[in-house]
Structure 1
Amino acid sequence: MTTAATRRSDRRISPVFLGIAAIMAVTGWAVWTGFAAGPGLSVFLFVTSAWIVSLCLHEYAHARTALHGGDLTIGAKGYLTLNPLKYTHALLSIVLPVIFVIMGGIGLPGGAVFIERHRIRGRWKHSLISAAGPLTNVLFAVVCTAPFWLDALDGVPFAFRFALGFLALLQVTAAILNFLPVPGLDGYGVIEPWLSHGVRRQVEPFAPFGLLAVFGVLFIPGVGEAFFDMIEAVLRGLGVSEAETYCGQNLYRFWTDLNPVCDAAVNR
């Protein structure tokens, strides 16, 4: 019923998203086949485009869940087309996360689509809308690591294997950061409907600074190390080693010198 309330054009996949997905497919093929002389640029384009695809799916999951929850304005805003240019904060949703990946290999949570929460009834619906985005990152991480935990790496080129490992690192990082119960992040959105009105009013002014606070805390000696140790532990549980994520990031940053160990593996 809610889906029928949106026009077909509101649900048509955007050519912008299809173009990004095409870049992901072509560059993924180039990484797999070793089409380019050096894998660095192909890995960079493959991981970046796949990361943007995951960000689009993250926001789509929020929007689609909100639509079925009762916000029928979602379709008219263009959120169901997977077009990243339609987001309320394209800079926060796409540009900044990509810059953070390029600079430091951190899966920065994106911005949020604008949901008219007053149209939605039921605390569980509000919590599910907030959880839908990071759950998409969890699913993306499971798909990326499937060859590892299924022990199906025979015949997978090392460059592609490393690229998947690094992409999985980004997805796990984004999922964990997003699920933190910090104002402004999806984790807080999950628990917010269950808090008293007074607590929500007191916390609301801090929401714009939640993500900045998280990154500030990660720079505290010992905290950042513990956080990334947790990320590595999750990846090891999914079958991805620290060496594979490191070589993936090393290949991704193709403008820097490639580690001799990674280079030897890629050219084996």
Structure 2
Amino acid sequence: MQWKGAIREFKNYLQLEKGLADNSVKAYLRDLNKIAHYFENEELGPLQLNLFRLEKCLRDLQNHGLSTRSQARLISSLRAFYKYLILEDYIDQNPAELLEGPKLDQKLPEYLEEEEVSAMIDSIDRSKPEGMRNVAIFETLYACGLRVSELVGLRLSDLFFKEDLIRVVGKGNKERLVPINSLAQKMIELYRQEVRVHLPIKKGSEDILFLNRRGSALSRAMIFNLVKDAASAAGIRKTISPHTFRHSFATHLVKHGADLRAVQEMLGHESITTTEIYTHLSQQQLRETILKFHPRSKDA
């Protein structure tokens, strides 16, 4: 088996069976083509590689300037690729399984304190129709930890308020049910009854929940601008985006004792490893609190 054919089959698997987004598929293929180029010079196909050869490849790429973060991603792509080859019975052992990745500095995402979330929402002028909509948007972002693409795609038919749930279509068109609190439900209902019902709804947007003044779906860029404006009005100097509400949602849940698996389900993370970042955030805050307020800290 040659690299070109193996990568093509893996691409089909990622798109058709795993349902990954285009950007994720491209990232996998970019990594594998880098490896393919290296071994094609040695006329070695993917089935001829072992742990020793893969380690040598990574060392050589590192010596030619491959960053630690790129190394880590490349190893992840290799492991996934060889798992697929095992699944298809091309091989029976994964030569990438024991590859040791570089240690990465944990980059903690920016998040809002609970008081800052309230300040942003309170800064919105609710006397205007778009203000009522924006309050509902922010309450939904924070209540459910949505990605901005999930928010703008939210539909009336996705609301199950009798069960305190909404249906969310996430990455790879994967659906999940997420709890929504009573305050967010109340703000959505106020928006629907007092604002949305009066809009000239455009064809194709009849089921979209959040609309602009012309009755069309909101863009991601518009949500980004709303967040920036509210942060400025609330006097918040942090660099934030709609995704900051998602980080804040998860951080505050973990801080108050939520089970990490439950947070993983609500966020739609495929791996618990992705969710564990919020444990680090909680631990960091705990450490800072202890160092600041413990009575013995002041005597050092």
- Give the TM-score taking structure 2 as reference length: 0.22
Q: Which has the higher helix share?
A: 1
Q: Relative contact order, CA 8 A, sep 6+: which one is greater?
A: 1
From the CA coordinates, give the structure whose radius of gyration is larger: 2
